[in-house]
A and B are shown apart, each in its own frame.
Chain A
Amino acid sequence: DIQMTQSPSSLSASVGDRVTITCRASQGVKYDLAWYQQTPGKAPKRLIFAASSLQSGVPSRFSGSGSGTEFTFTISNLQPEDSATYYCLQHNDYPLTFGGGTKVEIK
C-alpha cells in the first residue's frame, strides 16, 4: 500500500497568513494527487486535482504543487472561512489512500 504522510496534523494561523501543508507518498504517485477541504458535518470538497490544478469555482488563494512523492498545498491570505480539515488523496494505485488530515484553525 502507498502510505500518505500528511503534516502537520494541525495548525493555527491568523487571517491573512500563508499556510502550507505537505503530503509525502511512500512511493511515487506521479501527479495523481488531490486535495480536499472538509468542514464539520459536511462532505469533503475537492479543491485541487492532478497535484496542481485548481477546481472550478475554488478561490485562487488555494494552490498545490509537487509530483512523485512530495506534494504541497498552500493557502495564501488565509480567510476565516478556511477553518476546516484538509486531506490529500493519492489515486495512482490501489488501495487509494488518504493522508491523515490537517486541521486548520484561525487564531
Chain B
Amino acid sequence: EVQVVQSGVEVKKPGDSLKISCRGSGYSFPSYWIAWVRQMPGKGLEWMGSIYPGDSNTRYNPSFQGQVTISADKSISTAYLQWSSLKASDTATYYCARSFAMDVWGQGTAVTVSS
C-alpha cells in the first residue's frame, strides 16, 4: 500500500526552530515529487513547495521562499519541512502529498506556535 506518514503534533514558542517529516512507503520514494501544503486554521490549501528526492531538485512557492526549507533523504525515504525561527503566524496544519498531482496525502502535522 502506498502511504506517506507524517511526524506528530508540535507545540513551539516563537523563535524556536522546527523540522517536521514525511516518510513514504510502498513505492519508489526517489522517483516521485513530494509536495508540502499549508492549511491555516479555518482556511484553504496553499502549496508551499515540492522536492524530487531522487536528486533533491526543489521548487518553492515565492510566497514561502526564504521562510522554510524543504529537504529529503532518499536513503530513509523521508522528506522534511523546516523553520529556523517560528512565528505565531506559522500556526497551521502542514500536509505532505506525493507527486505534483498530489495523489496520496499524509495525515497532517499540526503546528502551534505560541508564547
- Residues of A whose CB lies within 8 Å of any CB of B are 32, 34, 36, 38, 43-46, 49-50, 55, 87, 89, 91, 94-101
Contact = CB atoms under 8 A, between A and B. Distances in A.
**Which 3 pairs across A and B sit closest by C-beta, in order of nearness?**
A96-B47, A95-B61, A43-B105
Contacts of A96: 35, 47, 50, 61, 100
B59 A49 contact: no
Interface of B: 35, 44-47, 50, 59, 61-63, 95, 97, 100-108
B105 A45 contact: yes
B45 A98 contact: yes
B44 A101 contact: yes
A43 B45 contact: no
A95 B64 CA distance: 11
A64 to B, nearest CB: 13
Nearest to B60: A95
A105 to B, nearest CB: 16
